[in-house]
Structure formats: structure tokens, C-alpha cells
A = this chain, B = another copy of it.
């Protein structure tokens, strides 16, 4: 069997059923092999940042990797930003990159570049295939590396000639490793802290924020008085539906510090210590009180939910869902289309089991506040802060969960980074409703400009954060890629259009022009 087919079959044997690709000359054998391995779903993306972001979204929903197929160094380069986000999300991604044939490499041809150097900036594991006969072994190893735990980007670079050379048989699946049981020592230490009577809190991320972990956390909060916080960068949170929903740490450091104020102990569950997104003049980046002691109940990649359950048992409390009120908030005043109004509308209309791909940036807080009253949904937030995440993650989530509605809540500035995702949504007829939050500005930078001490904006500075002159027309952009689209400028228009969009099969874009 030639290398290309051996790769696809080995990936399939190891649970990879979807590949997001933008192939070139050096990947042609893989493309040809798709007709011999029809089990592998191939999804064409018109820019590699869509491939890598879609693989992230896919992994966040299913907890297992999809593959990418990228063309040489430049193809990988275009995918790096969303691989960065996947890395910060601890998403497993099997990142396959084509390389020139081994005989061609020495000539420094136009497309030659340092692929390994690029890949190392985002990958937990980088390997260039050494010889065609190791294709099966390498493909199996790269899937294992991606899966971790914790999940990571694992990059396999394959010279073109190894794809057309004899490579032997594909590797059969091997048993996957079980997560080890929680550490009894860590559990006992956390229990001691909780029983001490000193103010204590949890900071949770990873798998711990899903239902099993949060039920245990709810019980611990009720039984011990501990405060519970979600990390801002947990990759996927199930929310709504009356669930106990801890607050996420705030974006700006003052607000986050206020949330953590007074704690003597902070128990980390699959989360790094709390730090602010950016550093600012005269302000510290670390967010917990100076005298707060950190305890790691479950390191990143461990089974935090099991650790929390063990801790609840150790503390003698019931690990049980703690219901929270689901009454909708008051309807925001006025007929204008504000972020609050969009959140209020979504809270009423989101179908049970929706998936929200959230790249709302400056509109985020207002909308998420309203969504506390929504039916159950999964929330996929920003993780690495590299913009252009939202639409590709929505594509990946929709392919992972074809029976659920995906709602991409997308800032207009960020959406422009990877708008090519809309074409893939149209081709695959994905169940995605995209809401473009059009404030026609990099609005968050108005605040950051003040915070970094840069002072008032003059006219020339202002024009660098201003997305008008000309206004983007997202209705035309979407239609240009085959996605039906409408524009809403009032609350009534948005409500009607969102209702129709949810009922519509396939992708829809609503450009929500904010008041």
C-alpha cells in the first residue's frame, strides 16, 4: 500500500474520521487516496486558518481529534493562529503537513521553508516522517500524542515522495490509555483546606467544567461554603437549562481581582493559575490575592471531575446538581439593537442543546449575562485570544454534532479574519446561524487604549480602530460565499430574523447592526 493510503487508513483505525484540508501539489496523493478510503470525511476549506479552527471546534465538542491536511510551510503558517487557540484550549489536533519530496528539499525551491520551526511554536509534538515504511507507526503515534492527556497539537510532516512510495500495511488500533485515578494526597490536602474554615475557592477548567465536575463542585459549594469560578479559558462549558453555573473570571484584572478578593486558598482543577489577559502600566498580572495559597487538586489533563467527586466524598457532601433559577431577565428597554437585547432574544429562542461559538469580544459580557436564562447550551469561548476563531470553530462543531444547532456569535472585526469559513458552511450545508455583531469598530481597543495609558485618541489613531469608511456589508459577503443573509437594525428585526434562521436548514448569516 502506498504511503498516502496507509496514512488515511491508520488515522481511521485510530478514530480519526474527519480531515479539514487545503491541499497542494505535495498532498495530491492524499487527495487521490480519498477515493480509496471513503470512510474518511474530507472537508475543503478555502484558507488554512479555517482548517485548524475547525479541527479545534471538532475536538472541543467530541473530545477526540480531527485531522488537518496543510500544504507545506505557508499552508501551516496560515493555520498557526487557530492552532495557537487549539493549544490553549488543550484540544487534540492531528496536524498533517506536506513537505517537498526528499530529493527536492536540498534545492531551496520557492516554497521551501522551516516547517518544523513553525510547527514547534504551537505543537506539543513535531515529527518529520523518516522513511515511508514508518508511515503507519508514525500516524498511530501522532494520534496518541494529540490525545495526550492533555490534548495538544501534534504535527506530522510528510515528504511528498513518502506518500507515493510503498509503505506497508496500516496500523491497527491500539488500546487507549485510561486516565489515572485522582491522587489521594491531592484530594486530602484540598479537603483539609475546605475544612479549615478559611475562605477557599475553586478555579476550574478542562473537563472539570462539564456536568459531572460541576455537580460535584455545586455540592462542595453548598456543603463547605467554597466559592467556585470557571476559568475564562475553559474550552467548552455546558450552560443554561437551570444548571449551577459558576461565574467565569472577568476579562479585566480589576474585576477579576474583586471576584477573588479575600480568598486564602484557591484550588485549581485542570486550570493554570489566574492571570490577566494583558499587562498594564502599574498593575500586576497575577489575579489572586498576594496571600492566597494555590492548591492543585487536578493538574491540566487529569480527570478533574473524578477528583472533585472524590473530594466531595472526602468532605462528606453530596455531589449533586444545584439548580439555579431560569427565569428570563427583564426585557431590555427600547427598540434598538443592543448586545443586551440580542442576549435577551437568544435566551428565549436558543433551541435546547445549541452550541455557541463565542467570539463576541466587546459584546460578550452583556450577551452572556442574558444567556444564563437559556435552555441548555454548550459554550465554546475564546481560549488563546488569536482572533479569527469563531467561524472556523463553528464549522468544526457543526460537523462534530450534526443534530445540534450551532450559533456563532461573532464580532465584525474578528469575523473578517477567517470569513472563508462561510463557504465551507455553505458547501457542507452546516446547521450554523452566524450573528455578526456589527459595531464597525475594534471596540475593545477603545478600552485598551485607555488602559495602556496611551490617552485620548486623535483622528489618525482613531482611524486604526475604525472599521467604517467603508462599512463592511456582511449580507453581501455571506451571499458571495453562498450563505443566505439578512441585516437587522432593530430588536424586532433581529427577533424575527433569528427565529427564521433557526427554522432554516443550513447556514444563515444575520448582520446585527448594533445601536
- Measured CB to CB, the residues of A under 8 A from B are 4, 21, 23-26, 28-29, 31-32, 34-35, 38, 42, 44, 46-47, 49, 73-74, 77-78, 80-81, 84, 88, 100-101, 103-104, 107-111, 113-114, 117-118, 120-122, 160-161, 164, 233, 272-273, 275-281, 284-286, 382-388, 413, 416-417, 419-420, 423, 426-427, 444-445, 448-449, 451-455, 457-461, 463-467, 469-477, 479-482
B residues near A21, Cβ cutoff 8 Å: 464
Q: Are B460 and A35 within 8 A (Cβ)?
A: yes
Partner of A278, one of B23, B25, B479, B482: B25
B residues near A417, Cβ cutoff 8 Å: 46-47, 78, 420
Q: Are A454 and B29 within 8 A (Cβ)?
A: yes
The docked-state distance in angstroms from the alpha carbon of A283 to that of B88 is 43
Q: Are A277 and B110 within 8 A (Cβ)?
A: yes
Q: How many copies does the complex hold?
A: 2
Q: Are B28 and A448 within 8 A (Cβ)?
A: yes
Q: Which of A77, A81, A272 has the most CB of B within 10 A?
A: A77
Chain B residue at smallest Cβ distance from A482: B470
B residues near A278, Cβ cutoff 8 Å: 25-26, 100-101, 104, 109, 111, 160
Given A114-B120, A117-B120, decide whether A275 and B107 contact each other with a Cβ distance below 8 A. yes
B residues near A109, Cβ cutoff 8 Å: 275-279, 285
B residues near A273, Cβ cutoff 8 Å: 107
Q: Are A32 and B110 within 8 A (Cβ)?
A: no
Q: A47-B388, A109-B285 provided; 19 other pairs, C-beta below 8 A?
A: A24-B448, A26-B278, A28-B449, A31-B454, A31-B457, A32-B458, A42-B464, A73-B386, A74-B84, A77-B80, A78-B78, A78-B388, A111-B385, A117-B121, A160-B278, A426-B470, A427-B469, A472-B482, A476-B476
Q: Which of A28, A35, A426, A469 has the most CB of B within 10 A?
A: A28
B residues near A31, Cβ cutoff 8 Å: 445, 449, 454, 457, 461, 464-465
Given A117-B120, A452-B25, A461-B31, decide whether A74 and B78 contact each other with a Cβ distance below 8 A. no
B residues near A233, Cβ cutoff 8 Å: 110
Chain B residue at smallest Cβ distance from A450: B28
Partner of A80, one of B47, B80, B386, B469: B80
The docked-state distance in angstroms from the alpha carbon of A427 to that of B275 is 38
B residues near A25, Cβ cutoff 8 Å: 277-278, 444-445, 448, 451-452
B residues near A423, Cβ cutoff 8 Å: 416, 470, 472
Partner of A464, one of B34, B73, B480: B34
Give the Cβ gap from A467 to chain B, nearest Cβ, in Å: 8
Q: Are A452 and B110 within 8 A (Cβ)?
A: no
B residues near A385, Cβ cutoff 8 Å: 74, 110-111
Q: Are B164 and A453 within 8 A (Cβ)?
A: yes
Partner of A285, one of B23, B104, B113: B104
Chain B residue at smallest Cβ distance from A69: B464
Q: Are A111 and B384 within 8 A (Cβ)?
A: yes
Give the Cβ gap from A11 to chain B, nearest Cβ, in Å: 16
The docked-state distance in angstroms from the alpha carbon of A104 to that of B282 is 11
Chain B residue at smallest Cβ distance from A32: B454
B residues near A458, Cβ cutoff 8 Å: 32, 34-35
Chain B residue at smallest Cβ distance from A386: B74
